[in-house]
Structure 1
Amino acid sequence: MKPRVLLASPVKQQEKVLSEFLDSLARLETTEVKLDFTFIDDHNDHTLLTRFALERPNVRIFPGDTEGDYHRDESTHYWREELIWKVALYKDRFIKIALDEGYDYLFLVDSDLYLDPKTLLHLLSLKKAIVSEVYWTRWKPELIPLPQVWIRDQYTLYASSRGEPLSEEEMNKRTQDFIQMLSHQGTYKVGGLGACTLISRQALERGVSFREIYNLGFTGEDRHFCVRAVALGLELYADTHYPPFHIYRESELNKLRDYKENLSNAIQSHSTLDTSCVVASVTPPHDQTKAHSIQTVSPGKITLAMLVRNESGRHLEIVLKQATEYIDHAVILDDASEDNTVEQCQEILKGIPLTLLSNKKPLFHNEISLRKQLWEMALSTNPEWIIILDADELFEESAPKRLRELLAHSLDIDYFSFRLFDLWTEKHYREDLLWQAHKWYRPFIVRNIPGFQAEWQETPQHCGRFPRNIMDLRGGTSPLRIKHLGWLRPQDRLAKYYRYKQLDPNGTYGNLEQYRSILDPNPNLVLWEID
């Protein structure tokens, strides 16, 4: 008896791209399978899905839920949390249909892929519980093509034992080994996959799902699916025999012609598709892959941006010295300091490219103008990542060695959030009803996205260090902690108290009760534990 397969896709897609996707579905070889199609039409402004359904009897289309903006451009795609979990619900709906209606397999395919006709029958022949066909994508135009499968965690492309210390050179080597392995035809066990995935009924009945695992910080519904699947005792596999073409940008439709021509030539010659020929249009040749160091796919240039004013004798030295261990460029905006802050910055950052500007008149009473000025200065250095720290904010001791790795392997993350601990002594941080900053994650690092239109919270105080609309981008969290040293010294606490009293006397932009609590003689303190 032929296996019954449900091919399903949630669709919010440009008409030109979707037309190619549907064309590839119509060309799938199905001689040994009974194939049905199910789509969720998520408020598309064209009728391609309806026309596809009218031409064949085995197609169902369901309407999408509430409409939401999904932004993509020639650089990348921008996923917001609410969109991710809406797609997760759609995919779980497909799982339920496949279970309720007795399908042997569910084939989940993203609507921006062009599939090789042999894909489905080949994946079925592997008899795996969960397997994805590998494709390659330049997640940003300047990066080398990378696979949509990975080894572990968010998007780590190298294997390592838990706790194994690895040098950057070793991480690079292992990453290249993984990429090279996937450039050869085969089927390989992996830790993460998605977008072109065949799921067996065995896996469906085990309880696989795309719904959020509430205590897992990874971004993207596929990560939650993969973690849950392995926890249920299933294994994940990636196959490289018939890679689809990923139409990640509309401009890549031109390259699709070459891919389709290769497919046509292969069919005409009645031979097995030469994967190396097809992949060449979307991945680098063997020698070209070697020519790229992993730095090509790492964040590249990291710029630190910092506001300073009268920082001499406080925490500036320790903060900047640590920063020199992980940054490529420093941008300092001095707000008319009256001490030797500028000279101190120049001395500490000697050997690091430095952009430094001193305002002639102080603007600290209107913080938003300073934040905008600093942001533009940071962008002018053309970094891949921008880290904004205040002169009294310090990453924990282990961070410099880990930050580079974090950013280098975060190709689908646009900003990182961290927890900030208000240190009241060298070994204690404050925690009470008014002092709970460390319980929440806030952005400190953001990717520089060309064409991003910054929108700010236009308040003179507490306006935020980044544009407010970076939260519309794809965010991730890091367990690395940040120490806020500005409360350590009694004289600094007193100065901040009077500053807030002067600049925000009515608590318009902050919390009057918290301002008053700064001078609490017996605050509740918690021991800072070193990881």
Structure 2
Amino acid sequence: MKTRVMVASPVKQKEVILREFLSSLEKLDQSGIELDFVFIDDNNEHNLLDNFSMGKKNVRIIREESIDTYVCDEKTHYWREELIWKVAAFKNKFIDIALQQGYDYLFLVDSDLYLHPKTVKHLISLKKDIVSEVFWTKWEPDLTPLPQVWVSDQYQLYDAPRGQELSEEEINKRVAAFIEMLSKPGTYKVGGLGACTLISRRALSMGVSFSEIYNVGFWGEDRHFCIRAAALGLELFADTHYPPFHIYRESDLEQLKEYKKKISLGHSKAGKKVSSSGWHKRKGNKITLAMLVRNEADRYLKEVLQQARQYVDSAVILDDASEDHTVEVCERTLEGIPLNIVSNKKPCFNNEIILRKQLWQMAIDSHPDWILILDADEIFEVNAPRILKILAQNKDIYYYSFRLYDMWSETHYREDDYWCAHKRYRPFMVRYVPGFHYLWNETPLHCGRLPVNITEFKGENHDLKIKHLGWLKPEDRLRKYYRYKELDPQCIYGIAQQYDSILDPRPNLVRWGQDKTK
């Protein structure tokens, strides 16, 4: 017997956005499940819902004659208290219908989302009573994208046990950890959620509701739903395998085109291991260097590329609007090696994720076997060429991790509580798997050089070391210090004490070659 799911949405939406939402509903995978759609038409000035229902027996439209105005523009959405509780009543009506008509699940979804086709089936497979698929939104144009799920209270993105006083540094650290967790494919327990939520019949029967809890002052009907659910003994979960696209502004429609490409047929389920049988037999072991550069001509670029040309078979380089002769250095040093250089007209260094994803796309467009991502101030040990060539021949491994040493001089690297990157392995070289849905840590700073879900494959740590030369000179350290202070003044993505420690006049240094880390 098929699982019955009622997909429900209150609709007061712009025509251009609603059209995309309904299009995504048409594409939902319904194999093995029975979907019915119920909409509350809150006095829309178009007939898209009627058009969607034509010829379908599984669509129900409930008309509401309302004179309320709901304003949303390119800055944000403007909610008033009476609108919130009107929507809460709509959602409670959906709960009543789902209970009365015996549905196994109620899927409540906002009408400005574009859903991944596998969303509903995947959420059902988790067998959770209440679970939301996470999406990311810039709540205001200049803000960093944040999730619609949270840890506690109104919208607190960090854990803070009662009675525990946290420093600003610790709060920032915990926020970053929560954001990083949600950037990886998985299912996580949270304290608050909404907008894209699957609710089981068990939870509905227990009395979940969006009604106002009179002695709770939190704003928003989702807060009251989540508090009531927890009080009933129900746990809340957030899933990150198939994030929808939030069309929060009409200007987001352009970016939606890229999202559609990513989820088009041929992309595998995020978080699922892609079978390696057969495909690697058609692939080789060539290494493509991918590098991001900006004004590197008079620093370490030539030295890094001179070594790299000994072991790479091709290179793609993204130049972020350099104002010196960086491009000429790349072309001259890598002469004779297949090379693709793209130069941005305007710099994007204040939003690293844009550059990292652009570089990744350039790399995969070159149809690579292996992608090695190095920065222009990172160089392997002298025996790297031979070792990397050997590693690339291993058909059972899909990524290699190495240790990175922050060099504070030609002969010493730094080691203390905040400078210990060399004590852990991190991926630098990854075998490209066509069809795998790669996911990123969508933050403007410290986003990482590689997609976060490459660890779904089998990887290996290797003792080959990498020197990070970018900290060698005092003037380099001072420049980086001011850059971090400018781009992350609230220390949301990094740690304030680490930023300040950059200028420590007496750092603890260890001579290169005396590393005892294993």
TM-score band by shorter chain is 0.5 to 0.7
- Asked if 1:46 corresponds to 2:205, the answer is no
Of residues 269, 272, 280, the one that matches 1:272 is 269
Amino acid in the other structure paired with 1:85:
W
SS at match of 1:179: helix
- Asked if 1:207 corresponds to 2:366, the answer is no
**1:481-520 superposed matches below 5 A:** none
The structure-2 alpha-carbon separation of the partners of 1:84 and 1:161, relative to structure 1 and needing over 3 Å to count, comes to same
Amino acid in the other structure paired with 2:145:
P
The structure-2 alpha-carbon separation of the partners of 1:112 and 1:164, relative to structure 1 and needing over 3 Å to count, comes to same
**1:47-446 superposed matches below 5 A:** 47-264=47-264, 267-269=265-267, 271-273=268-270, 283-284=442-443, 287-288=446-447, 293=488, 295=490
- 1:231-259 Cα distance to aligned partner (Å, 9 max, x none): 00100000000000000000000000000
Amino acid in the other structure paired with 2:141:
P
SS at match of 2:490: helix
- 1:407-449 Cα distance to aligned partner (Å, 9 max, x none): xxxxxxxxxxxxxxxxxxxxxxxxxxxxxxxxxxxxxxxxxxx
**Matched-pair contact (CA < 8 Å) for 1:143–1:296:** no
SS at match of 2:260: helix
Shift, 1:73, TM fit? 0.7
- 1:282-315 Cα distance to aligned partner (Å, 9 max, x none): 93378338976483879xxxxxxxxxxxxxxxxx
Hey, what's the Cα distance between the residues in 2 that align with 1:65 and 1:278?
44
Percent of aligned pairs sharing the same letter: 61
Shift, 1:65, TM fit? 4.5
Hey, what's the Cα distance between the residues in 2 that align with 1:230 and 1:289?
35
Alignment TM-score, normalising by the size of structure 1: 0.53
The runs of 5 or more residues in structure 2 that have no matched partner are 273-356, 358-436, 450-483, 494-518
SS at match of 2:447: helix
What is the match of residue 521 of structure 1? none
Hey, what's the Cα distance between the residues in 1 that align with 2:445 and 2:131?
25
Hey, what's the Cα distance between the residues in 2 that align with 1:279 and 1:146?
15
Amino acid in the other structure paired with 1:43:
N
Hey, what's the Cα distance between the residues in 1 that align with 2:438 and 2:67?
36
Amino acid in the other structure paired with 1:249:
R
Amino acid in the other structure paired with 1:268:
G
- Asked if 1:22 corresponds to 2:22, the answer is yes
**Matched-pair contact (CA < 8 Å) for 1:42–1:63:** yes
Alignment TM-score, normalising by the size of structure 2: 0.55
Amino acid in the other structure paired with 2:151:
I
The structure-2 alpha-carbon separation of the partners of 1:254 and 1:284, relative to structure 1 and needing over 3 Å to count, comes to same
The structure-2 alpha-carbon separation of the partners of 1:54 and 1:7, relative to structure 1 and needing over 3 Å to count, comes to same
Hey, what's the Cα distance between the residues in 2 that align with 1:58 and 1:157?
38
- 1:29-58 Cα distance to aligned partner (Å, 9 max, x none): 010101100000001000000000013210
Hey, what's the Cα distance between the residues in 2 that align with 1:228 and 1:94?
17
- 1:493-524 Cα distance to aligned partner (Å, 9 max, x none): xxxxxxxxxxxxxxxxxxxxxxxxxxxxxxxx
Amino acid in the other structure paired with 1:21:
F
Hey, what's the Cα distance between the residues in 2 that align with 1:100 and 1:253?
37
Hey, what's the Cα distance between the residues in 2 that align with 1:296 and 1:256?
30
Q: CA RMSD in A?
A: 2.1
The runs of 5 or more residues in structure 1 that have no matched partner are 299-531
**Matched-pair contact (CA < 8 Å) for 2:175–2:492:** no
Hey, what's the Cα distance between the residues in 2 that align with 1:75 and 1:130?
31
Shift, 1:4, TM fit? 0.6
**Matched-pair contact (CA < 8 Å) for 1:263–1:273:** no
Amino acid in the other structure paired with 2:269:
T
The structure-2 alpha-carbon separation of the partners of 1:289 and 1:12, relative to structure 1 and needing over 3 Å to count, comes to farther
- 1:298-347 Cα distance to aligned partner (Å, 9 max, x none): 9xxxxxxxxxxxxxxxxxxxxxxxxxxxxxxxxxxxxxxxxxxxxxxxxx
